[in-house]
Each structure stands twice: as structure tokens, then as C-alpha cells.
Amino acid sequence: MGEAKVGTAAGAPGGAVAIGARYRSHTCGALRASDIGGEARLSGWVHRVRDHGGVLFIDLRDHYGLTQVVADPDSPAFKAAERVRSEWVIRVDGAVRARPEGTVNADLATGEVELYAREIEVLSEAKELPVPVFGEPDYPEDLRLTYRFLDLRRETLHAIIMKRLAITRHIREAMHEAGFNEFPTPILTASSPEGARDFLVPSRIHAGKFYALPQAPQQYKQLLMVSGFDRYFQIAPCFRDEDPRADRLPGEFYQLDVEMSFVEQEDIFQTMEPILTGMFEAFADGKPVTRGWPRIPYDTAIAKYGTDKPDLRNPIEMADVTEHFRGSGFKVFAGLIERDPKVRVWAIPAPKGGSRAFCDRMNGWAQKEGQPGLGYIFWRPRSESLTDIDSKMLAWGLERAQLEGRTEAVEHLTEKYLNAIEGSGPIAKNIGPERTAAIAAQLDLNAGDACFFTAGDPAKFYKFAGLARDEIARELKLVDESGFHLAWIVDFPFYEWNEDDKKIDFSHNPFSMPKGGREALEAAQAKGNEALLALKANQYDIVCNGYEIASGSVRNHLPETMVKAFEITGLSRADVEARFGGLYRAFQYGAPPHGGMAAGIERMVMLLTGCKTVRDVALFPMNQQASDLLMGAPSEASTKQLRELSIRVMPVEKKA
């Protein structure tokens, strides 16, 4: 094939390339009907080879797409075509022609044309594949990660990675448009207090000392605000030695890191909510995205959903029904309430779950979770009950009467409700029909519905209640999976009780400002631990479909307030100066009020691509045991390396 006939120059990615190109005039996704009658040179991977009546069809693939190559026995390239196998890399020269009538592939961008091969050059042969690319069969994850370079050739995963790049590009452009500047920050730094273990890097020059990889650019971005800059952002690498899970990579990850000066919490919300809403809408493939995100206080999230990361696609909202059990015949709950003022009884409604079989199944699930069981009531119509519509109208009228404080109306409607449906199950039998009816009225439950109950100190059982809520919704298929439901979780506790160390500790970000500032901090300290644990912070998370995708706060920019906050956790002024000296010193030279947030890139991409794990949206992730199977990390250090770093490895005791 003459070089002068090969293609024309084109600037668009995936189109024609320069005249005389050694490997290709076009990419495998570029040829169209307008190219019929011309010549082309393509290079790529052999996706598959098909033999139809002695005519060979080669699907040739590169980053940009796929083109069908044809070689018949009359083609000078036929013998070479007979040799090629899947995933060989070849160059093909040939004529662009229309596909025969009835063979056009409408699902393929190049589906109207094919390349009649005149010359094939093998550029690279491939051994038999340990992980097939064509057809994308299911293979064990560890095998896929060992051969990740093959895994990434698969169309689905390849597209996911490209979508990730498009998402980060969209974010970067949106941040620039909003007036933010992209500042790089150091990778080698000092230990940071983000809540995870640091990855340490030993220093050769400073024997016996270590750098740390940043868990986040937290302190640097605050220092940028003190330095007089404003509106910082970065798609930042973060390193945390955490246990892996489906939504968390074990070593490194990326986050959209943001900081702003002279802002309050609402300023940050008004700035970032439209940016992230726009990003979700741009990549949601038409699925609905929440606009005007609700602001849910932390305490409300725990009480309604059993988690500070609620999946708002699940319509179930839990409720406090303690008073219905106080002094009741259900002695287990009544006794707990009488003995401990902290005890609450929470109800988990189960719409359309009103059968004994379902209730027993949920009780069995609770036992598998290590609980003694899950008490329940299910409602059924009385023989002379109201219609379903009448029952709903009755529940609505009762709710209005309760809200308006019309006592007589409440009593009258409750009596009618009592006559409409009846509760079944051991709890209903023990608390009596009036209390059972009152629970149904409070939760707007009707015949065919059920309700499950858990009791005790909410601090000890709320997580289980949240799991039960999710399980009930899954079993009853109540979760609307068609969209992205976003919300702010606000008013986090500033402190929490560290049960292991038996002391007060930070609940969220230690650099956050407590609500009310130093005055509120000192007032709470004077009242004791209970008041400290009730103290709220200017801290917030963004949640989407049951995942925390971002976290942030308005920062504590006053050095004495910072010292006081740390002193309550047991760290002295000297400890603060030693651990966070750069930040502490900077705050003494005029620090502006500032705040920000960080959003996890992998988690957002995971949600937008429908993946079940963040490992499927990362190029070369570690496995669930924090091992890089492709590169063989972590690995042992050589004696020479250890000697240069003044390190001696201690033998690890084998676990019994």
C-alpha cells in the first residue's frame, strides 16, 4: 500500500492521523460511511477472529473503538490473517468498503463499514490469556488484579475508567469556573490526625526519623488560608493505612479537597451543593438527582435511620414509641424503661410486611446478627373493618387531630382506628389493643403492615436498628434505585466517648470549631462529660444512597480555642505544639475564619457507574488484603536498604 494514499491529518482524538503514519491512518473507532472507497491503516488488538465459509473476520480493537477487518482467500493478507489469535497486536492496511446488505451493525460506531485487508503485520504476539477479554466472563478478583492490564482491556472496565476521567475533568472545570485555584501540596509531610494510621517513610538523612504520607492535605490547605490565598481546591492523593472494604481502598485514594476563607457553614453549602449537583446530573444518565439537599441533624439521622449515612431511597423512618411501652404488660421493655432513663424503644415500620412468615423471617435474621430476636406486631383487618381507603383517611384525620391538639377528636378517631384493624403477635397480646392501636396510629400503619421493635440505650443499639431498617426495605423491595438521593448531615457531636481508653475524644475532625466557640467549650467542660458529649460542632457530611461521599467543617482558627479543645482530650499545649506546630504557630499571626470539605472521588465514581466496589473504579488497586498482586507489594526490604535507613526489622510473633 502506498504511503501517499494513507489517510489525512486530523486533530480530533480518534480520527485520522498524519500522512505516512507508521502504524495507523485512523483509529479503530474512526471509519465511517464517508470513508468508503478510500484506503486506511489500522493498528490494535485482535478482539476475536471468526471464520465464515472460509472468509476470516477480525474484530480489531483499540482505545477508541472497534472495526471489522475482512480477509478472504483472494486477499494477499489471508495467510497472515490465519495466524493471528486473540489479543495479538497487528497492523492492517486495506480498502474501506461498505458492509454487505443485512450485515450493518447499528450498535457499532463503525458498523456501516469494514476494512478489506491487503497487508497484515504482526506487531506483538500474545500468550494464552489467564483472564479472557472478549465476552468479559466472571473471574475471581485476585486473578483479575494480578493481570489488571488485561482486565483493563475489557470494554466495561475501560469505559468506567474513562468515565472517571470525565468526572474529574468536569469537577476541575466547575471548580475553576467557581473561582477556585488549584494548589498542589506536599506528599512527604508529618503525621496527621485524620483518624487512620499513617504510612511512614523512613529518612535516610535523618536516621531514626520518619516522614508521613498525607492522610489528607488538611493542615496545608488551612495554612494556605492563613497565607492569604482563598478558594483552594485540589484533586488530592490521600494515604491511609485502613482496613479495606467495598467502599474504601486500603492504601491510597483521591478526594476533591476544598477550602475557603471568610465563610460560615452556609456559605460552603451554597458554593459546593450546585457544583456537586451539577456533576451528578451530568453523569447520572438521566436518573433523578436531588435538588435542594435536605439538612439532617446528626441526632435526627441516628433516630430516624440508625446511621449518619442514611440511604434516603429507603422510605422507612423509625420512631420513638417508648411511652406506649412504659408500664405496659410487655415486661421486657417495661422493665428496661423503669430501670434506666436512657432506655428508648424504637419502632421500625414495615409497610406491606404484615404476615407472620415475614415477621418470623426477620426475627431469624436478627438472631443471625447476634441479637436475641426482633419483636414485632403485624396488623390485619377486623372482620367488619373499614376499607383500605377509609383506613388511610382515618389515619390522616388522626394525625391532624394530634398535631392540632384536639384531644376529643384524637380519642374518637383512635377508637375508630381500633375498630378497623387489630394487631397480632406476642407484643400486641401483652400490651393490649389500645396501645397497639396507638402505635399503628402514630406510625400510620394499616392492615397488611407490620412493625418491629428494639429497646435499650440507643447509643448501643442504633447501628443494629439501622441494619434492620435496611434489611426490611430490601426484603420488601421498598428501595427506589432509580436515582441519587443527596443530603447534608449537620450538627455532629464535637466529642465522643472512647470506650477503649475511657476518655473523651474527638468525634469528627479535631480542627473543627465547636458551635458557640470557646465559651461553649468552657461552659460544657464546667458541667462535665455529659455536657461535653452533647456539644455540637460546625461539622457536616454529604451522603448519597447510603454512602458518605464528603466530609467537612468550619475550622477552629483561634489558637487558644484549639489548645482548649485538645486539652479536654488529654493533650497538653506542649503536645499540640509538638504535633501540629506549623498550624498552631500560624494561627498566632492572624488567621482568617475558614472552612471547607473533602469529597471522595472513588466513591462518587462508584455510585455514578453502578459499581459495587471502589476497586472497580481504580486503575491498579490493591486487593482486600491490602496486597498489590500485580507489582508484588508490599515486599521485603534488602539488607542494604535497611542499613542505609538505620532500620532493623523485628521478628513478627506468629499468632496462635
Per-residue pLDDT tens over the stretch 510-548 = 889 999 999 999 999 999 999 999 999 999 999 999 999
Q: Given CA atoms 277, 281, 284, 289 in this order, what sign does their dihedral have?
A: positive
Any idea which residue has 536498604 for its cell? 641
CA geometry: angle 146, 148, 151, nearest 5 deg: 125
What span, in angstroms and rounded, lies between the C-alpha atoms of 29 and 13? 10
What span, in angstroms and rounded, lies between the C-alpha atoms of 6 and 117? 14
CA 288 to the chain's CA centroid: 18
- CB contact at 8 A, 57 and 44: no
Helix, strand, coil share of the chain (percent; to 5): 35, 25, 40
What span, in angstroms and rounded, lies between the C-alpha atoms of 352 and 358? 10
Q: Given CA atoms 137, 142, 145, 147 in this order, what sign does their dihedral have?
A: negative
Any idea which residue has 456537586 for its cell? 276
Beta bridge partners of 95: 39, 116
DSSP strand pairing (295-297 vs 486-490): parallel
Per-residue pLDDT tens over the stretch 158-209 = 999 999 999 999 999 999 999 999 999 999 998 876 778 899 999 999 999 9
Secondary structure letter of residue 385 according to DSSP: P
Cis, bond preceding 193 (omega within 30 deg of 0): no
What span, in angstroms and rounded, lies between the C-alpha atoms of 109 and 88? 23
Task: Collect the ranges in the chain with pLDDT lower than 50.
Answer: 1-12, 19, 384-385
What span, in angstroms and rounded, lies between the C-alpha atoms of 189 and 653? 31
Helix (H, G, I), strand (E, B) or coil at 562: helix
How many residues are given for the chain? 656
Beta bridge partners of 431: none
Beta bridge partners of 92: 42, 120
**DSSP annotation string for 426-488:** HHHHHH-HHHHHHHHHHHT--TT-EEEEEEE-HHHHHHHHHHHHHHHHHHTT----SSB-EEE
- CB contact at 8 A, 494 and 535: yes
